[in-house]
Structure 1
Amino acid sequence: MSLVAHSLDVIKRLQSPTGAYPASPTFSAYRGYSWLRDGAFIAEGVSRHGDVAGADAFHAWCARTVGDRAGQVDSLVSRAARGEAVPVAEMLPTRFTLDGVDGDDDWWDFQLDGYGTWLWALREHSARHGRAVPEVEKGVRATVRYLTAFWHLPCYDWWEEHVEHRHVATLGAIHAGLRAAAGLGVLSAAEEASAAEAVAGIAALVEREGLTGDGSGPPRLRKWLGGDAVDASLLACVEPFGLYPAAHPVGAATVAEVERVLARDGGVHRYLADTFYGGGRWVLLTGFLGWNHARASRPAEARRCLDWMAAQATPDGDLPEQVSDLLLAPGRRQEWLDRWGPVATPLLWSHGMYLILADELGVHA
């Protein structure tokens, strides 16, 4: 069985009857939970390969899950409008149980990027198949109200770290999501206006505070506002989110710097100070690099990324979250093994990213 076929099978087999995609079925810290971020890219992968029903079910689950919290969103927005500081602990979570309820475990929960990523993926799926996913209006509108009210706040990043910062990858996801939501045809005039205002505000903020460089060439995106670090999540700000597209000098400079600093022997690290499981190379991040190469008309480089991803599969064809052969902090690996056990395998997001890059390159089952 090809890895495309196996990836589709793994995702379809593990999808919950509720429509949620579990992050990883056996990994202790992820088991029983679905992330909007992970799931959105998983849904994008299967949508590209014809599993319309599976992607529909995930998007419907997202819409129900967020729509069920519309009252909570309106309360949060009203409190903020009155000038009240809303505690991070009262914001919407970043992950939900497969039944769409809040989990009981402590987590680094205030993350906004997943909400934007879901809106982006919903629009991509709907446009690709020329049909609207039924009954998403309440969830979409609640998500837009939430993002337009709170996009400017610091929150945790993709890696559930640094809640004190405003992360450029998060801003890129929200920017893409609010642009996408405007094309779904469900927003009120006031919500559309608020979304447009937020989109313009994000673009201006990133241009003002989210770029860095030494003056010898085009600037590139920063990991967070005010810092100079490089993070592989910034790849998504170029492709697919288009905050600065692949053809834009800033987009090209960002991809080039991520590759220069974080790519090693085919795989891509998250960031140089990473100590999670020793700081290995992530399969899904190599997928993002390949996606950017494909969109920048570098198919050979994109194909090398796809081949490296496939080479990390277990004998059963399952893709892990990261691989541990070239670690940034090898002395920190054991503490995570002791805490959570072996690296998450399979990670459905890794399989979703493999499907996306395979489709970009015309590789199908």
Structure 2
Amino acid sequence: MDRDQLVASSISIISLNQHPRGGYVASPLFAPYTYSWLRDGTFIAYAMDQVGETDSAEQFYRWIHYALKDKRSIVDDLIGKHERKEWIDRSEFMGTRYHLDGRDDRSEWGHFQLDGYGAWLWGIVEHIRATGNYAILEELRESVEITVDYLMIFWHYPNFDCWEEFPEFVHPATLACVYGGLKALGELENRAVLLEKAEQIRQFIMDHAIKDGRFVKSIQCVNENWQPALPGVDASLLWLAVPFGVCVPTDPIMQQTVSEIERELKQGGIQRYEADVYYGGGEWLLLTAWYGWFKAEAGDQDEARRCLTWIISKADALGRLPEQVGDVVRNPAAREEWIAKWGEPALPLLWSQAMFLVLSNKLK
């Protein structure tokens, strides 16, 4: 399958797996992923905007509005508890994924996750910039402001990372999503309070999430002092540069971070993090696309094209891209355990199809 064929099949797979109300299923054939995530969906919508499928992206943002517009009382209650310094259980926070029609997901899952809430604010601003449809912001205003109030208060709370793990820590990649969302909306609407909060978050990252000249996977507060909790790297740290702009790709700290990702996590594709055991810790297609996107922004077009070629080589005859491949895994025994539990890794994964589209578009 060549590049143009995979572009066409990726657009088709995403379109066919979007609910009429707007939610993108994470993976239609993998039971645990038959929901729509704010985070995954935002990047899928961004990809669709990139390839001119703007109606699809717009419908996704309306789906988010439908899912969040009635949650004002939940957020106000949470903020009240925060102000009164009352304990808040993780189960009380808003969810990270929803049913395809926008209903709450009541299953047991790592629901307290802030990355998707920051990402969707960034995504709707990107959509407005791509289409010029400023009116949609007023249409979605209620859900936008619920999200803003939620993030302004809880951005520094420990919560699940983007892989639904390590809820006891704070994660720079998550903070980057929140920073990116508040900054994008603040710039679009000239809202100083959002820009000030975004700068506070950026400074927090720079003050507390760096060790040995690079960013770390996760941090924690011990005796009122923030310090690295998981001092290794995670490929999601690429988000600090692209697309959220906590720092530029050529920043020395970012360069050192990427060098460590290359040393520790780069095979043909990119793995998540050193201790990963999910399906053995294989190579993730969406992260390989992200690494290629970073390399393109940093001026290394050859490496970005190599990443694109590698991703294309992993497509099946129907143009479907998996979540990860098992060519090189960190823990082979764990891979077999997950296959016995859930079957083969998700195929197709819409986030993989989307990030292929993003990288392909960047390399036009």
After TM superposition, the score normalised by the length of structure 1 is 0.93
Residue 128 of structure 2 is aligned to residue 129 of structure 1: no
* Runs of 4+ with deviation above 6 angstroms: none
Instruction: Structure 2: give runs of 5+ residues left out of the alignment.
Output: 220-227
Provide the C-alpha distance between the structure 2 equivalents of 1:104 and 1:72, rounded to a whole number of angstroms.
15
The 8 Å contact of residues 60 and 133 in structure 1, kept in 2 or not, is answered as: no
2:79 and 2:195 mapped to 1: Cα distance?
17
Residue identity in the other structure for 1:76? L
User: How far is the alpha carbon of 1:62 from its aligned partner?
Assistant: 1.1
- Residue 140 of structure 1: how far off its partner (Å): 0.8
What is the aligned length? 350
Matched AA of 2:202: A
Q: CA deviation at 1:303?
A: 0.6
The one-character-per-residue Cα deviations of 1:186-230 (angstroms, maximum 9, x if unpaired) are x9x6xx52x3343122122211110111xxxxx211101213211
- DSSP-derived class of the 1:229 partner: coil
- In 1, Cα distance between the equivalents of 2:352 and 2:314? 10
Counterpart of 1:317 in structure 2 is 319
Query: Which residue number in structure 2 is paired with residue 169 of structure 1?
Result: 173
Q: Distance in 1 between matches of 2:262 and 2:275?
A: 16
Counterpart code for 1:117: A
Report the more deviating stretch, 4-13 or 133-142.
133-142
Matched, 1:254 2:257: yes
| 1:224-247, Cα deviation, whole Å (9 max, x unpaired) | 121321100101111111111112
- Select which of 220, 223, 234 maps to 1:231: 234
Determine the structure 1 residue equivalent to 2:108. 106
AA in 2 matched with 1:148: M
Please list, as runs of the form range in 1=range in 2, the aligned pairs for 1:303-342 lying within 5 A after superposition: 303-342=305-344
> Please, which of 24, 33, 36 is the counterpart of residue 21 of structure 1?
24
Matched to 2:238, the amino acid is L
Q: How far 1:311 sits from its partner (Å)?
A: 0.7
C-alpha change, 1:137 and 1:333, in structure 2 (3 Å) is same
Contact 2:187 2:195 in 1 (8 A): no
- Cα-Cα RMSD: 1.4
- Residue 356 of structure 2 aligns with which residue? 354
Counterpart AA for 2:295:
H
- Give, in whole Å, the separation in 2 of the partners of 1:137 and 1:80: 24
Partner SS state of residue 264, structure 1: coil
Distance 1:55 1:260 in 2: 36
How many Å separate the matches in 1 of 2:250 and 2:327?
Answer: 34
Q: Quick one: percent identity of the two aligned structures?
A: 42
| Partner in structure 2 of residue 42 of structure 1 | 44
The one-character-per-residue Cα deviations of 1:4-47 (angstroms, maximum 9, x if unpaired) are: 1110010011110010100000101112x100110011011110
Report what 2:225 is aligned to. Answer: none
Match of 1:277 in 2: 279
Gaps of 5+ in 1: 214-218
Q: What are the within-5 Å matches in structure 2 for residues 62-101 of structure 1?
A: 62-101=64-103
Structure-2 separation of matches of 1:238 and 1:256: 14
- Indicate the residue corresponding to 1:5 in structure 2: 8
Output one character per residue of 1:89-147: Cα deviation in whole Å (capped at 9) or x when no partner.
Answer: 10001000011121132101111011111111111111122222621111111101000
